[in-house]
Structure 1
């Protein structure tokens, strides 16, 4: 025979367990937990840059806007544009920001690739001539040695700058000139052609160098060494580079909106001290 008092205790225990289970279910569906789940629903976007423009790509102004639009941004620093392009094409990253359009076009042509640059551009790279020894173009002596980048797009930019300054004359109609296209060299300039990232280090050893202003700023070299700058900014826009197969994905529009705001224009001007000019 079952003792009534004992049975009542058992029933109370059962009801207590049911109450606890119900409370846990309600707690797991509380507003705070639902909000947490919504947060993890944001898509992750991986962007790359070089160390110099990390503060631009990882900028809180742009990243907060990306969050509002439904994306979490992770930024990775890679060594150079070639590595970035390979990562974009392989799907390891969504987009990169470093190379200018002519460099990307030369890469695509030489590698038979098709990486794609988004517009509007995020910034333009200022390019100039710099010297430890001379203050003006006119002071450069006969037989002066100039270091210029050896890659096709930056070499062309250097030679076009020298032509603008009246130091050389190039063959007409050549879109991407090399030193072989120089038809007049009245000062008998000697050209030292090296990798673009090594140009600045040669500054003490030559009469002048030609390079993007960003290399001077990133190496903490005084800008009073600037002799002149080029007037070709609009031909050398820098935009996010992506795999062309992804250009219609929703995150692409969000990326452009986030990085071309009025706030980002102010950030670019503040961070780069004139070596980058906003492109929007």
Structure 2
């Protein structure tokens, strides 16, 4: 009889183990964890935007910690390592490029929180048409912003790209009738290097963060819908209740008004 009881207890324990037993903190052994503590990462520039939703998250019962990290790559690695839960900074094409290049599984929650605008900047010329042949033009070197720059250069009739290319590099330039000289540098250095070039292409938010006078933006892209910025998260966690609560806290009218006030058009609400 004792053997039967012991066997029964062993079977029950095994079933509880494989069904994801909860400890007294509510944690499970499954792929995702429902919790009440959330760590968000962002940049110093986007900190005011992140602050817009913290009060609402706290009202939903969450303890919130915000970390300022330098760039999107650092944020993705922190998500992979479990050091943070979500981050708000990179746009969707950049995240897709990161996943492809690093074989990672990072997702972006939707709807987007904001969309990044992009532009052509010059301190020497008032319009794109004034840019002379042989001009020195600076663009970001990362894959997604490089492609965005080249597409905008094509739209402004500086270059022609090979047909059908979805993520062009400078090797995909089919013709360069104005013989412009293209220099690729780190995305954060483009605006700071504007004095050394005839023109530059950059996300408008970097012009704002560098306190560049808006008059130096001589053209604006029309592709903001393709460059949405949402909270990035480990794919296994995207359907958790806490992820849904983050979205609910950051897609309010208060956040919408805040985005318009903070970025003044360099980023626009994405919801």
The interval holding the TM-score normalised by the smaller chain is 0.7 to 0.9
Aligned to 1:242: 233
In the TM superposition, 1:46-65 aligns within 5 A as: 46-59=39-52, 62-65=53-56
Over residues 88-147 of structure 1, what are the superposed CA-to-partner deviations in whole Å (9 max), with x where a residue is unaligned? 111111100000000011111111111111100000001000001001011000100100
- Displacement of 1:74 in angstroms is 1.3
- Whether the aligned pair in 1 keeps the contact of 2:192 and 2:210 (CA below 8 Å) is no
- Displacement of 1:169 in angstroms is 0.9
Aligned to 1:137: 128
Paired residues in the alignment total 237
Aligned to 1:36: none
1:271 aligns with 2:262: yes
- Displacement of 1:71 in angstroms is 1.0
Q: Distance in 1 between matches of 2:37 and 2:88?
A: 17
Query: Which residue among 117, 121, 125 is the counterpart of 2:116?
Result: 125
Gaps of 5+ in 1: 1-41
1:209 aligns with 2:209: no
RMSD between superposed Cα atoms in Å: 0.9
Q: Distance in 1 between matches of 2:71 and 2:269?
A: 21
Over residues 178-219 of structure 1, what are the superposed CA-to-partner deviations in whole Å (9 max), with x where a residue is unaligned? 111111211101001111111112100100000000111001
Aligned to 1:226: 217
- Whether the aligned pair in 1 keeps the contact of 2:128 and 2:218 (CA below 8 Å) is yes
SS at match of 1:142: coil
The runs of 4+ residues in structure 1 deviating greater than 6 Å are none
Gaps of 5+ in 2: 1-34
Please identify which structure carries the higher helix content: 1
TM-score with structure 1 length normalisation? 0.83
- Whether the aligned pair in 2 keeps the contact of 1:63 and 1:72 (CA below 8 Å) is no
- Whether the aligned pair in 2 keeps the contact of 1:63 and 1:73 (CA below 8 Å) is yes
- Whether the aligned pair in 1 keeps the contact of 2:118 and 2:221 (CA below 8 Å) is yes
- Displacement of 1:57 in angstroms is 0.7
Whichever of the two has the greater Rg, that structure is 1
Aligned to 2:190: 199
- Displacement of 1:164 in angstroms is 1.0
SS at match of 2:46: helix
